[in-house]
Amino acid sequence: MRALLLIAALSSLLLAVRAYDSRTGPPLELWHTYVPEELSAGQIDGSDWNAYLRHEDSLFEQVRREVTDRLPASAHVMSNRYFKNSPIYPPGFDHDWNRSYEMLPSGKPLGAVVLLHGLTDSPYSLRHIARIYVAHGFVAIGIRLPGHGTVPAGLTDVDWETWMAATRLAMREARRRVGPNCPLQMVGFSNGGALAMKYALDSLEDSRLDRPERIVLFSPMIGITRYARFAGLASLPALLPPFAKAAWLGIVPEFNPVKYNSFPVNGARQSHRLTMALQEELARLARIGQLAKLPPVLTFQSVIDSTVSTRAILTAMYANFPSNGSELVLFDVNRRAKMGQILNPASPLALSRLIPRFPVAYRLTVIANAPSGSENMKERVVEPGSTQWQTRELDLVYPPQVFSLSHVAIPFPPDDPLYGTRQDEESGTK
Q: For 306-343, how does the pLDDT look when each residue is reduced to its tens digit (9 = 90+)? A: 889 999 999 999 999 999 999 999 998 887 766 555 56
On whether the CB atoms of residues 342 and 362 are closer than 8 A, the answer is: no
Question: How does 275-302 read in b/e, with b if 16+ C-beta sit within 10 Å?
Answer: bebbbebbeebbeeeebeebbbbbbbbb
Give pLDDT, residue 147. Answer: 99
**Nearest of 102, 106, 96, 97 to residue 176 by alpha carbon:** 102
Question: pLDDT tens across 364-393, in order?
Answer: 999 988 766 678 889 999 999 999 999 999
Task: Give dist(CA 390, CA 382) in Å, integer.
Answer: 6
Backbone angles phi, psi at 157, to 5 degrees: -135, 55
On whether the CB atoms of residues 380 and 365 are closer than 8 A, the answer is: yes
On whether the CB atoms of residues 98 and 258 are closer than 8 A, the answer is: yes
**What's this model's pTM, rounded to 2 decimal places?**
0.90
**Nearest of 59, 89, 72, 82 to residue 27 by alpha carbon:** 72
Question: pLDDT tens across 404-429, in order?
Answer: 677 777 888 888 888 887 655 543 45
Domain architecture of the chain: domains with CATH? 2-260 (3.40.50)
Question: pLDDT tens across 267-280, in order?
Answer: 999 999 999 999 99
Question: Residue 81 carries which DSSP code?
Answer: T
Helices (H), 247-309: 265-287
Give pLDDT, residue 338. Answer: 65
Residue type at 130 in one-letter notation: A
Task: Give dist(CA 152, CA 422) in Å, integer.
Answer: 29
On whether the CB atoms of residues 297 and 217 are closer than 8 A, the answer is: yes
On whether the CB atoms of residues 392 and 377 are closer than 8 A, the answer is: no
Task: Give dist(CA 313, CA 315) in Å, integer.
Answer: 6
Task: Give dist(CA 238, CA 266) in Å, integer.
Answer: 12
Task: Give dist(CA 219, CA 301) in Å, integer.
Answer: 5
Is the backbone of residue 404 left (phi > 0), alpha (psi -120 to 50) or beta? Answer: beta
pLDDT band at 350 (very low <50, low <70, confident <90, very high): confident
Question: Residue 357 carries which DSSP code?
Answer: P
